Homo-oligomer: A and B are copies of this chain.
Amino acid sequence: MSNSSSQRTRIVIIGAGFGGLQAAQSLSGADAEVLLIDRHAHHTFIPLLYQVATAQVEPTQVVYPVRTLLRGSPNVRFLMSEVHRVDFHSQIIETDHSLVSYDYLLLATGGKTTFQGVAGAARYGLPLRSIDDAIAIRNHIITRLEQATGEGNFQERQRLLTFTIVGGGATGVELAGALLEWMRGAMGRDYPELRHLPARIILLQSGDQLLPDLPKKLGKYTAKKLRRLGVEVYLQTKVERVSETGIMLSEGRFIEAGTVIWTAGQGATYPQSREAVATASKGKVCVNSSLQLLEYPNVYAIGDVAYILQNRKPLIGVAPEALQAGVQVAKNLRRQLQGKSPKPFRYFNKGRLAIIGCYTGVGYIAGVAFTGVVAWLMWLGVHFVYLPGFRNRLLLLLSWVQGYLFADRPVRLILPATQPMTKGELSISLASEQPDSGNDSV
């Protein structure tokens, strides 16, 4: 990109998540050259990742090629590259390929899972933030089921069939419900050997409420529902340590588990920068009311990397916030291009929805609380509408019909996809695979 010398104003957006992509699309046709940079070639629809992890939908249904989403925007280009460092003073970004200069910059680099210093968590806990994470969890779960069928020892088999989820937020709740559906439904048909040995699904929440961003009564309802379905829900339970064989609670009890999924703890992904900037809790970048960095008015930050206050409370980090912020940044950039001053960002909360599973969910919209099948249907509807791409939506619908009506799991697959950036880089791992390379039979 560095070689394309254009005299037009250049806006660089780092991150093709909800915020960055929305901003890029909203800048379509603006009198500026827009460059969107992401280290992946695809946009990930994070709210549906848990359905990939539970073999409900295909990975390719929740990710979408960024370039295709930008087909209609000739002034917006895409660069797949890792951003190593930003130099706010000389307005230059270092990527793997080159140096990219900018006039205006948007940091939309998102968040990452933090293991809060819990011993063994980073090593044995499975995070769920990216499509790779989701596929890894799916592979892991199915591998455990396969191992359990081959396992003679009763106790070890029970351990292999014990799935622990750390974190009682939306992701944790949704995972617990979906896992339960899976184990009750398709699993029994595919693993007759395991039918009389039900899987244990355990949900651990450090606080005293599930879905802490929602009203207390909805958290209570969710816990009650999950328990009735058969999920073991533990509130006010902290994790001391995660090991290869299970998870140690701070109260001293050890849970033998073959799988630990880690949905707790969220940090910002802030690229290295030459100059220090003000950051708040979780390493989020401080921005003013119009989403500009306090130090650099030509640099914006939104989404999970930004500390955005609304009526003195920080945003909690959900997709709608990032989407609306992306639109506002695009508006403000257009204003700055016209020499006008940017306007403050006002987040309009359309409400919150969470799916519990087994045809129930919870929702809180305009001060009204919904529960049960109504909220469940609303959740499906909203995520169906927001998923990019007609094709993905169609396939999603098929998967849901099969998953919910026929209680089946379409994607029970362990797909060990390799990712050679170039074959050369892969040579080591390939070499070690040579003995049976290419043999896909046994």
Contact = CB atoms under 8 A, between A and B. Distances in A.
Contact of A417 (B81, B191, B303, B415): B415
Given A67-B190, A82-B442, A438-B113, A427 B142 contact: no
Contacts of A42: 413-415
Nearest to A13: B442
Nearest to A153: B3
A367 B192 CA distance: 47
Interface residues of A, number: 108
A77 B419 CA distance: 33
Nearest to A63: B413
Interface string A418-442: 1111111011001100101111111
A412 B420 CA distance: 15
Contact of A439 (B41, B63, B110, B143): B110
A117 interface: no
By CB atoms of chain B within 10 A, which of A17, A412, A438 has the most? Answer: A438
A417 to B, nearest CB: 4
A419 B31 CA distance: 45
A398 interface: yes
Interface in A381-440: 391, 394-395, 398, 402, 410-424, 426-427, 430-431, 434, 436-440
A231 B142 CA distance: 42
Question: How many copies, total?
Answer: 2
A3 B260 CA distance: 28
Contacts of A417: 59, 131-132, 135-136, 139, 415-417, 419
Contacts of A416: 132, 417, 419
A410 B136 CA distance: 23
Contact of A441 (B20, B58, B190): B20
A60 B129 CA distance: 21
A74 to B, nearest CB: 7
Contact of A146 (B74, B80, B113, B123): B80
Given A60-B413, A132-B415, 13 more contacts: A42-B415, A46-B440, A74-B192, A111-B441, A122-B437, A123-B431, A130-B440, A132-B417, A132-B440, A133-B440, A139-B420, A140-B420, A269-B442
